[in-house]
Chains A and B, each alone.
Chain A
Amino acid sequence: MFEPVADAIERDDFCSLAPIGWLHHKMQDSFFLVVGTHSCQGFLQTALGVMIFAKPRFATAVLDEDDLSGRDALEGLLPIVEAIVAEHKPGAIFLASTCTPEILKMNITGCAPPLEEKFGVRVYPCRLDGFDPSYTQGEDHVLEAMIARAPETSEKNLVILGCLSALEEAEVRLECETMDLPVPRFLPNESALDLPPIGPNTVLAAVHPYLFGSVAYAARERGCAIHKTIFPYGPDGSRAFYEGLAAAFGKTVSYEAREREAWGACEREVEAIRGRSVAFISDAMLELPIARTLRAAGATVPLVGTPNIYKKFHALELARLEGVDVIERPDRFAMYARLSEHKPDLVVANLNIANALEGMGFSVKWSTELSFQPIHGFNGAPSLFGLFAASLRRHDALAKIRGKTQTEAAPIDLDFFRFDGAPLSLRAPHALREAPQPSSPLPDPTGATSAALAPSPSHEVRH
């Protein structure tokens, strides 16, 4: 499954702890105990602690030097878990191993059974570390740990895999009712203890493209049938997804009219997207299906960077991206160069470089939002396109006002933080400084090399 590659550089990114944000929100009786370093703790506090109404149901057991010198992991965890059980009374605790325990080969998984026995609370061991290609795969590991504990069955049933909102779940449930399919079971649920039975006659349908590991695990361990269609993003993806579900239960159902109706409902948003170009330089592993449905909506997609591609799992999506420059594990600066060739109307990018891209003159849509907005299914399609439409409309509107003013500040760069010279001016007024040139990596925009010929750093894989 894992292909070793040379250490990629410039790969700062969210790690797999990030999905704790949406998973702990979904599973209301869950608690996430992260065994890691101060960096893990800092990330959780900074990125997830900002949910202002939340009494956080996650914590970090910070490793100290005793742990490095071989202290038994369980010994350190006992008082922590005891306190969590007393204070939060969780239905289940997710015991997350991170980078450092992996390196130290600490047996975090082995701590789960004794903790479970001692405190009478379900403990799911899982690996949420920074070695995954994409931060979204934290959800993959959590679901794998839950599948391991799911009851076995020989019934023919339907399990929908992947964290969805109540509205998205309702659509799937109602469509299954309409098609007279078994009532679908979801994983995860409101309760971390609510596990659907999974067996050899289960049809397992993953709704997120990053759930490769848990799907493979279920197929291997339980022999269940894997639902294979494109993913249920956009009217086109939703149609294929539901028709495929029907087929898995021996029925032929046409969603052609439904897809048409859904496109009609999306028209207000699609109108703003049609004919515009959108490039992806993001890291959520949602890029392939979303690029696909944007193309179906009439956008052009010249370039897609995505952190990882599982060839079989993503084959149907890749097949629909013909003509798109799809790059796996993209190099940041090589992507900058390609973007300056393509000059897309919108760039979908992670938070760490979103502002930098705006500073270079691109219009940016931040990518992380795609991970936690309810954008699945026919129902979610207007919201999905709405994210892009709103972004394009906003950039268009602001471009108009920017065209009329001469006072627009240059992007904040490092010189902004220089306090040079004259005592009373304190520093040169920001707006009057020379606007920075697009950073050096951008090649001559008139350059003749086509993007397809742009040099590809060795750790990139082109599809």
Chain B
Amino acid sequence: MRAPKGDGYGTIMLAMFERLGVTPPLSVCAMSEATLAGSQANIPAVIREVDERHHPDMIVITRSATAAVLQEPLDGEISMMPDKVNAEIFLAGAHPLRDTEVSAFALTLKEIVAHYAQDVERSPKPSVNIVGPSLLGFHDHANVTSLRKMFAALDIEVNAVVPLGATVDELRTLGRAWANVSTAHELTAPLFAYMQARYGTPSVHALPYGEAGTTAFLRELCALLEIPADRIKLAARDAKLLWYARTVDAHALSGKRVGVFGTPTTAAGIARVLHDELDMKIDFVGTYVLPYGDWLRERVADLTSDVIVTDDYRVIAKRIDESRPDIMFGSQMERHSASAFGVPCAVISPPAHILNFPLGYSPFIGYDGANHIGDVVNQTQVLGLEHHLIETFGPRDQGLAQAMPEGKDAPSVHDVPALATHSASGAVAVAEQILTWDQSAEKLVARIPFFVRKKARANIEKYAREKSIAVIDERTVLAAREHVGG
């Protein structure tokens, strides 16, 4: 990537979220002050290094918005590369200012496939391509496993998974597959249109969300592949969502109002599960992928007419505040917004944080995904940990000083006698003594983040008792921090 180094934060996400134990396969040819002064990009040096260090079959070169603004002729530089490198070099066409992360993904995926695609024979056995999953995708690794499990039960061959883990050889032979299935419509639509035109490859229209939804998805796929649908029940052996919905535990879900916001695919898929399979009430549905607003409207037309298409998270925050749904289903941004209003929120869509890169197997699509969605609903409703914390401690951003006004430090004032009682069991004279906190010490300790404050107070008092200090002042607080910790 040609970019200022800060735009390379994607490598940090890649390394952290995917827990890569190798140097992430993304290099930044950093722009510097020298670039501003007219110095040329050193793209060939970076390409050579990437070729040597990572041994890729293909190096995709892209620019960040800042580099696009500078209008450097990258293609010229690349074409003049004197040394031969082993990797094929591909200049991505996505425009960093016009394209979003979604449209850039969709376009680049199509371009790369078109670059490699060859005319090939259809596979002897019915087969599919699983298209859409990627590194940093939303539960994508598990989603692919979920799909593969089902396809194995149906005796459907997986021709390729693209782009997650795909090799260039697999890209050349995507045309072998009898049909395409997508994990995210907005990421695969241009590629599917290309493959329909070039190979006549059909794709499945239904979204594999929920138990009933997955069954519909597999029926459609079986029809496309001209294979009997009776094996679907083998694939559905572990499906529990519809049974869960009948159990007493889930009865309370009826009529619960939910808001759903995410990518068009996750929003449409999840809204349908919540409505059709769990009998929840859809308050609103929305997406931030603006070009797919109409697609989403059509998909959820029978669930709600209230479809919000916006890429401004504040619009959704305002809506959550106004509607106060019982549960919000959204991206990481909605999780923040909802927590400010005490609305429990489940993250069902990117953008996501590391919580959505679990170690365990938790797909969102297929029958296993349906089970997981049931768990998510259940856990969000029952636990709502953040809701509980905010209720107990108050919002942090109001400033700790405001949250804990001087002299009204209610929770910690109550802590003091309790601690004194506990430590009095040792019957040591100083332990009996009620410690006094002077105002400056109270003020200082109020600045300690609330989640460690109680422990810090206990440590400070322990220290004061050890040192026979009756009145705790600022110096006691600091000395205790140094000697006891906390």
Contacts and interface: CB of A to CB of B under 8 A. Distances in A.
B49 interface: yes
A119 interface: no
Nearest to B167: A418
B264 to A, nearest CB: 19
A426 B35 contact: no
Given A7-B31, A419-B144, A47 B9 contact: yes
A8 B389 CA distance: 46
Interface stretch (A70-78, A223-231, A286-294, A409-417): A409-417
Q: Number of contact residues on B: which range applies?
A: 35 or more
A13 interface: yes
Contacts of A410: 21
Contact of A46 (B9, B22, B53): B9
Residue with the greatest number of chain B CB neighbours at <10 A, chosen from A38, A52, A352, A358: A352
Contacts of A439: 22-23, 53
B29 A9 contact: yes
Interface in B1-57: 3-13, 15-16, 18-37, 39, 41-42, 45-46, 49, 53, 55
A234 to B, nearest CB: 13
A193 interface: no
Interface string A386-397: 100000000000
Contact of B42 (A9, A12, A52, A99): A9
Contacts of B55: 440
A379 B480 CA distance: 9
Interface stretch (A128-136, A200-208, A240-248, A338-346): A128-136
A104 B22 contact: no
B36 A424 contact: no
A442 to B, nearest CB: 11
B478 A167 contact: yes
Contact of A359 (B21, B26, B42): B21
Residue with the greatest number of chain A CB neighbours at <10 A, chosen from B19, B34, B69, B101: B69
Interface of B: 3-13, 15-16, 18-37, 39, 41-42, 45-46, 49, 53, 55, 64-66, 69-70, 96-98, 100-101, 135, 141, 144-145, 148-149, 151-152, 157-158, 161, 164-165, 332-333, 335-336, 339-340, 351, 353, 386, 389-390, 395-397, 399, 401, 444, 447-448, 474-475, 477-478, 481-483, 485
Instruction: Please provide the 9 A-B residue pairs with the shortest distance between their CB atoms, ordered closest to farther.
Output: A15-B6, A411-B21, A12-B8, A359-B21, A130-B6, A130-B4, A53-B396, A166-B447, A37-B65
25 contacts: A4-B32, A6-B34, A28-B399, A38-B65, A39-B7, A46-B9, A46-B13, A52-B339, A54-B336, A103-B36, A104-B69, A130-B6, A333-B49, A333-B53, A352-B11, A354-B15, A355-B16, A378-B482, A382-B482, A411-B22, A412-B18, A419-B148, A424-B152, A436-B22, A441-B53
Interface of A: 2, 4-17, 28, 37-40, 42-43, 45-47, 49-50, 52-57, 63-65, 68, 99-100, 102-104, 129-131, 135, 165-167, 170-171, 174, 190, 262, 265, 332-333, 350-356, 358-359, 378-379, 381-383, 386, 410-415, 417-419, 423-424, 426, 436, 439-441
